[in-house]
Amino acid sequence: MIIFKDVTYQYGEKTPPVLEDLDLIIPEGQYVALIGPNGCGKTTLIKHLNALLIPSRGGVSIDDMDTREAARHRDIRCRVGMVFQNPDHQIVGMSVEEDVAFALENLAVPLRELTPLVRKALARVGMEGFEKRAPFTLSGGEKRLASLAGVLIMNPRYLALDEPTAYLDPAGRRRILGMIGQLHLEGMGIIHVTHDIGEVADADRIIVMELGRIIMDGTPAAVCAFLMSRDNPGLEAPAMAALMAKLKESGWDLPTNVISLEAAHREIHSCLTRLAKAR
């Protein structure tokens, strides 16, 4: 379980807090999405998950390991895999193979054991054959997949992803989202930062942040209803919910807390069926 207890974070002593009095519990195996406008503190929050940042006040614990204890950092970083917002930040080696192996090399896994593990991790993200490529020659999407492989090789219990579908084409996006869904099914806890609520319709829970605070935390349907009920600068209600609201305005009997295309299709279809029966 991940616990944030009354967490406040400031980048500098004289700068205002970026996270303020934040309380949050993420049980093992939960799929949590984190949304909010630019600069609201999403990246800052998830950097607390593997002790890249330590709270200025309050505490964060990962499976009972307090991130304030430096001796725990290694275990914490094995427990929580992190895929950064900018994949260039995760490039450290001369080849994709070195990059993917980096974390395990750090943990002193013998070299001969690494090669098959690297191959397996790359295959898991659909990047077979990229072992010898120089990381800087990869496309944005390929870099992201390679950094995901470098995290999966550690077999973490939780996976934090900072806008994992940015720069990806629709096929790459579907592939990453499918992979996240699959990892969740296999029991991995997921913390998924995104600007597109449409891609986290299947999350167990969506957390909405604004100005360093959590302003809403609930099921996708509840968060959708919340977003529809207010004007959100920098945060859009789901496109499907907006469409349903417009249809409702025109007299259709439809719910508006709908996020995914599939759910919208289902609702419109059943509405049409009801209308046909009534005639």
The answer to whether 76 and 249 are in contact (CB under 8 A) is no
- In whole angstroms, give the CA distance from residue 8 to residue 212: 9
Which of 2, 4, 17, 18 is the binder for ligand ATP (CB under 6 A)? 18
* Residue 198 CB, nearest approach to ligand ATP (Å): 16
Decide whether 173 or 248 has the Cβ nearer to ligand ATP: 173
Name residues whose C-beta falls within 8 Å of residue 43's C-beta, 6 or more positions apart in sequence: 85, 162, 193
> Interface with ligand ATP includes 22 (CB under 6 A)?
no
Decide whether 27 or 39 has the Cβ nearer to ligand ATP: 39
Which of 4, 18, 43, 98 is the binder for Mg ion (CB under 5 A)? 43
- Would strands 213-218 and 205-210 be described as parallel, antiparallel, or unpaired? antiparallel
> Interface with ligand ATP includes 48 (CB under 6 A)?
no
Residues within window 232-251 making contact with ligand ATP, judged by CB under 6 A = none
The tokens for 24 are 């949050």
**Stretch of residues binding ligand ATP (CB under 6 A), selected from 38-46, 132-140, 241-249, 267-275:** 38-46
Binds 39: which of Mg ion, ligand ATP, none (CB < 5-8 Å by kind): ligand ATP
Which of 2, 7, 26, 40 is the binder for ligand ATP (CB under 6 A)? 40
φ, ψ for residue 212, nearest 5 deg: 80, 5
- Residues contributing to the site for Mg ion (CB under 5 A): 42-43, 85
